[in-house]
Amino acid sequence: MPRSELRARDSLERHAGLRVDGARLLRCLDELAAIGSDPAGGITRLGLSPQEHAARTYLRDLCAAAGLEAETDPAGNLLVRRPGTPRRAVPVLLVGSHVDTVVQGGRLDGAYGVVAAIEVLRVLHEHDVDLPVEMVAVAFANEEGALIQTPFWGSHALCGSLEDGLAAKDRAGRPVSAYLAQTGGDPDRLAEAAWPPGSVAAFLELHIEQGPTLERLGVPIGVVDGIVGRTILDIEVVGEAQHAGTTPMRDRRDALVAAAEIILAVQRVAAEQGVCATATTGYVEAHPNVTNTITGHVRLTAEVRDTDPDRIARGEAAVRAECAQVAAASGCAVEVEIGMRSRPVSTAGPLRDVIREAAETLDLPHLTMPSGAGHDAQIVARVAPIGMIFVPSKQGVSHAPGEDTAPGDLVHGTNVLLHAVLGAQTAVGLHGDHVGDV
Ligand code: HGY
Ligand code: MN
Ligand code: MN
């Protein structure tokens, strides 16, 4: 057995009794939740906004005080290492998630996985645990794409799959470079955020389930086997703004009525026709949006999801066909562009086994299940094997102020992550060769 494998097994046995500091984890989650809290409810800490930057700054200071080395890369990703982790070295075990939220989102989506990763790194540092495959914690920037319309921005940047990154902008057309410069990133060095191929030995992400299954079955740990893919369609409906009182009904090209037809058709594609798992219209912007003017212009998004790429493609085709029919019937012009495509992915079998063994080490029941939400892990899956751990969400609520998880479940999940990091040491291949700067 290779020496590194012996070191890994020895480390796993010696640290079977290791546990995270649950009170410290929960305290950090509470402090982080205060950053970006929205007076209207929930948390609005949009990707690449000053609020996300404040969250990263809080975490960076927390890590520095704990004796860890934290830095922000040119894409805005926060990377945290134990002192002495070689930068030009063998591949690392990347562990983390994101700290940005949707508008009025919850306190745990993404943030939990980042705070837990930092807690795990602190425990490894405090106990001077020897890891043949060193761990690096990461908070990926702008996973949601709620402000800058490029979901998975940070994970794409780190994996080198960000296409035309500087073309990204907010809905008002303000370019990402303006936001990056203000939030610790560097638009002029964006390409340097990409790690050399082979730099990531494996990626682990701990996340709330954001659905009802684990709570309903009374199981504390989910072992994710697959993550849905998603296609976002940006739809533009152009009619004719006219006076609401003097324009005869038969002479109208009402863009809002046409958009309403599209919204209902999108819902039918999944709910009635079963073409794909889900189809949702989440964003609608009507112009001029006043009571006594017929709407001339509407921008809206439709997103379709499934674990099967063919069903996602069929969902996209069905939405396009519905848009064409509404255009013909309403006399409005309907343009459809693709805002984003993410592929469905499977997690790595050896890492699923590592997570199951970690749960069993801690006497925690576990359930293998898919993820209906998208995650940075599905982007990192392009360059490395991935593993995902879920904890229950209360009433399955997420992307809303009521998002919550029992404190005990949060601590359990973090202990499973700690032991998955230890167990992964024997699951991931040690490449040993130099991979350049990371
Ligand atoms: O939309 C999603 O599935 C994730 O929360 N970004
Ligand atoms: Mn989310
Ligand atoms: Mn998330």
Q: What is the pTM of this model?
A: 0.95
Distance separating alpha carbons of residues 215 and 232, to the nearest angstrom = 29
Q: Let me know whether 195 and 85 are in one domain.
A: yes
**Which pLDDT score is estimated for 89?**
60
Q: Let me know whether 221 and 170 are in one domain.
A: yes
Q: Let me know whether 304 and 410 are in one domain.
A: no
pLDDT in tens, 203-232: 999 999 999 999 999 999 999 999 999 999
pLDDT in tens, 273-309: 999 999 999 999 999 999 999 999 999 999 999 999 9
3-state secondary structure of 372: coil
Which atom of ligand 1 is least distant from the CA of 144? 6
**Which pLDDT score is estimated for 437?**
43
Distance separating alpha carbons of residues 421 and 20, to the nearest angstrom = 13
**Which pLDDT score is estimated for 435?**
40
Q: Let me know whether 200 and 282 are in one domain.
A: no
Q: Let me know whether 175 and 320 are in one domain.
A: no
Of 312, 342, 372, the residue at which a domain comes to its end is 342
Q: Which residues are within 5 Å of ligand 3 (an ion), measured at CB?
A: 109-110
How would you classify residue 76: left for phi > 0, otherwise alpha for psi between -120 and 50, otherwise beta?
left
Let me know if residue 437 belongs to a domain.
no
Pocket residues for ligand 1 (CB within 6 Å)? Answer: 143-144, 373-374
Domain containing residue 9: 3-228+344-428
**Taking residues 403-412, what's their average pLDDT?**
98
Which atom of ligand 1 is least distant from the CA of 109? 5
Let me know if residue 221 belongs to a domain.
yes
Q: Which CATH number belongs to the domain containing residue 292 in this structure?
A: 3.30.70.360
Which is nearest to 61 in space by CA: 86, 36, 39, 32? 32
Question: How many CB atoms sit inside 10 A of residue 137's CB?
Answer: 28
pLDDT in tens, 244-278: 999 999 999 999 999 999 999 999 999 999 999 99
Distance separating alpha carbons of residues 347 and 370, to the nearest angstrom = 10
Pairing of strands 92-98, 200-208: parallel
CA of 344, nearest ligand number: 1
CA of 17 to the centre of ligand 2 (A): 33
**Taking residues 74-92, what's their average pLDDT?**
88
**Greater pLDDT, 1 or 74:** 74
Let me know if residue 391 belongs to a domain.
yes
What is the number of residues in the chain?
A: 438
Q: Which CATH number belongs to the domain containing residue 196 in this structure?
A: 3.40.630.10
Of 342, 377, 400, the residue at which a domain comes to its end is 342
Which among 375, 378, 379, 398 is the best mutation to test ligand 1's pocket, defined by most ligand atoms within 8 Å of the CB?
Answer: 375
Tokens of 302: 């439709």
Q: Let me know whether 207 and 81 are in one domain.
A: yes
**Which pLDDT score is estimated for 428?**
66
Which atom of ligand 1 is least distant from the CA of 372? 3
What rounded mean pLDDT belongs to the chain? 95
**Which pLDDT score is estimated for 88?**
59
How many distinct structural domains can be found in the chain?
2
CA of 97, nearest ligand number: 3
Distance separating alpha carbons of residues 81 and 86, to the nearest angstrom = 9
Let me know if residue 171 belongs to a domain.
yes
